[in-house]
Chains A and B, each alone.
Chain A
Amino acid sequence: MAVLEKTPQRVPGRPALRTRGVSLVWRPRYVLVLTIGIAVLVLGMAANIGRGEYPISIPDVLAVLMGGGDSGQQFIILELRLPRSLTGALVGGALAVAGAITQSIARNPLASPDMIGLTTGASAAAVFVIVLGGGFGTVGGFLASAGLPMAALVGGLTTAFLIYGLAWRRGVQGFRLVLVGIGLQAMLMAIVHWLLVVAEVFEAARAYVWLNGSLNARGWEHVVPVSVALALLLPAAFLLAHVLGALQYGDDTARGLGVPVNRARSLLLLVAVGLASVATASAGPIAFVALVAPQIAQRLVGGARPPIGMSLVVGAALTVISDVVARTAFGATELPVGIVTAVLGAPYLLYLLARYGREARA
């Protein structure tokens, strides 16, 4: 890795790191906060892995993850418990990055995938598969495991196209996106409820647990699809983040700066929908992570929009720690992780709404 050099500063507040052809603004606060965030995430995962009928201490967990420990611990951790935590971290990270993108595009913190119906669209399609496609299970193998994620992806994309189309009016404005999204969200919820009513009891129960956003019984077969999706979509998100910054200034200014606005926005939205849908397919629509995590990340780092990298870490840590709480707060009863994130996220939503009301009156 090339070492970036600090050069004398001419513009206050924007120290530079530069080396042949590569240059960026040196933001010490971001690096510090990101480092702490990663540490919290790792400890959260270790705590989550350590919990269970056979408790393992955090140092032992870390030792096994580094390649040590005895074979019993290795089996329990690597085969049984790690996939669950890993799924939680990946899903939470994916949701948070999706939220950071949509909130930035709409220039509105309310415009996260879980508020404007993207995850509900993915859910409706997934519940459709669970409830009416019970027969799909007999196909078995690849189709059975790929069916749900594919359905969720199709559902999420369809919803995104609908929102974009309905909110389009010579460009897309944030508040229209939010209002149209909330409307669609309500309609999609109605579809989900209808599906639950017509479903057989067993399938309805399965769908219901899934709808709450659960990490129960997640194995490596759940980790793989999210990992593949993240491996493809995250680099895209980081590449497009630079353009996302320009889109924040409104369409005319962004065009003036040479951004092909509609193409850039469509691409970014596609990445966000992909991330949110795959995450939803893996663990259900875990509530509020996509709304809250990017906002926490922005408050921690400072700046004018939710930062992608920090959102990833905050979303992952938030989901994993919520899962620890979900598994342990009520003794033997394990709650779906989505219930904990909802309890954490709902007050924040109220705060956002109250703040908006005040600003609107001011």
Chain B
Amino acid sequence: MTPLTKTDAAAAETTTAVRLRAEHVRLAYGERTVVDGLDLDVVAGTITAVIGPNGCGKSTLLRALGRLLKPTAGQVLLDGKRIDKMPTREVAKILGLLPQAPTAPEGLTVADLVARGRHPHQAWYRQWSADDEEAVAQALEWTGIVDLAERPVDELSGGQRQRAWISMALAQGTDLLLLDEPTTFLDLAHQVDVLELVRRLHQEADRTVVMVLHDLNLAARYADRLIAMRDGRIVAAGEPAEVVTESMLAEVFGLAARVITDPVAGTPLVVPIGGHAQSS
């Protein structure tokens, strides 16, 4: 398995193509400023993972990148154009997003859920075109849920449901994907499942992915680029090996930890010290 060489090559080809850019962005909910003066580039053909402690503003940042939240200062550019000036439907053809803990209406089937991803390509008279069907069939295959197509979404397990939602985002047919904590509520095996899927999307379908992740080790393993945030600022950004260091863990998470090399992937592996500090 040589994922790193593959992504390095991809990155070298496309370093200049910035798909999403945040410029001096300030993000606030009402009076409360969550992110201030933040700059960020998302380069084509990469997987970017945003990490940081709870409440550091990483989900807020993702919402702003996906035009769900309008910055109170600064701007977000999608392919060089201000995202808030573009028709939201046009944005939806370029950029797909999966919110944190999305909710499906009761009684919906998986096929209907995934087909909803085609919304930006549809109109009241064009609700199920051949293109729609093709994209949905492909998205179901990608996520391995063809057999579940006629089942109600409420009957699925957590892992299956998450794959159904990712499938919906895929059916949208965008080459940019924003995923907000796609692995929450999943056990480790299903977390790996979902992230393997993300990697395949990137490698085989050339999707550019930005995701918020909680698990540092999985983030380091699956992302080309890590962004570590604390208190609404970016503290460190770069390749996993540059970002995941003992000093970063102390500064960003307030965590005493050792960083060793993942024996499987060769990426950094975080080993918390915690109560074992005395004995080590």
Contacts and interface: CB of A to CB of B under 8 A. Distances in A.
Interface stretch (A6-14, A68-76, A345-353): A6-14
B172 A22 contact: no
A242 interface: yes
Contacts of B96: 256
A25 interface: yes
Given A14-B128, A24-B127, A258 B119 contact: yes
A302 B29 CA distance: 39
A46 B106 CA distance: 37
A240 to B, nearest CB: 8
A12 B231 CA distance: 47
B146 interface: yes
A250 B103 contact: yes
B104 interface: yes
A228 B68 CA distance: 39
A11 B119 contact: no
A62 B128 CA distance: 39
A7 B131 CA distance: 13
B115 interface: yes
Contact of A249 (B104, B111, B132, B149): B104
A7 B129 CA distance: 10
Contacts of B247: none
B149 A13 contact: yes
B134 interface: yes
Max count, chain B CB within 10 A of own CB: residue among A9, A24, A302: A24
A22 B125 contact: yes
Contact size range, B: 35 or more
Contact of A10 (B97, B112, B116, B137): B137
B128 A16 contact: yes
B140 interface: yes
Interface residues of A, number: 38
A305 interface: yes
Contacts of A238: 124
B109 interface: yes
B119 A255 contact: no
Contact of B140 (A11, A16, A24): A11
Interface in A254-270: 255-260
A103 to B, nearest CB: 11
Contacts of B104: 249, 304
A16 B105 contact: no
B225 interface: no
B123 interface: yes
Contact of A304 (B108, B120, B127, B146): B108
B214 interface: no
Contacts of A304: 104-108, 112
Nearest to B108: A304
A12 B102 contact: no
B108 A23 contact: no
A302 B150 CA distance: 13
A336 to B, nearest CB: 35
Contacts of B172: 257
Contact of B97 (A245, A256, A259): A256
Contact of A23 (B112, B114, B129): B129
Contacts of B97: 252, 256
A35 interface: no
Interface string A8-35: 0111111011100111110000000000
A252 to B, nearest CB: 4
B266 to A, nearest CB: 35
Contacts of B150: 12-13
B130 interface: yes
Contacts of B169: 256
A11 B105 contact: no
B163 interface: no
B105 A305 contact: yes
B124 A14 contact: no
Interface stretch (B8-16, B39-47, B86-94, B192-200): B86-94
A12 B134 CA distance: 12
Nearest to A252: B99
A255 B68 contact: yes
B85 interface: no
A279 B269 CA distance: 66
A113 B116 CA distance: 27
Contacts of B88: 255, 258-260
Contacts of A107: 105
B120 A258 contact: yes
B126 interface: yes
Contacts of B98: 256
A257 B125 contact: no
Contacts of A10: 133-134, 136-137
Given A16-B130, A256-B68, 17 more contacts: A11-B111, A11-B149, A12-B149, A17-B128, A21-B126, A22-B125, A23-B126, A25-B128, A107-B105, A170-B29, A170-B30, A245-B119, A250-B103, A258-B91, A258-B119, A259-B89, A305-B105
28 contacts: A7-B130, A11-B111, A11-B115, A11-B133, A14-B111, A14-B115, A14-B128, A14-B136, A16-B133, A23-B126, A25-B127, A107-B105, A238-B124, A242-B127, A249-B102, A249-B103, A250-B102, A252-B68, A252-B97, A253-B102, A256-B66, A256-B97, A257-B116, A258-B90, A258-B92, A258-B119, A304-B104, A304-B105
Interface of A: 7, 9-14, 16-18, 21-25, 107, 170, 238-239, 241-242, 245-246, 248-250, 252-253, 255-260, 302-305
Q: Which 3 pairs, one residue from A and one from B, show the smallest C-beta to C-beta distance?
A: A258-B92, A258-B89, A304-B105
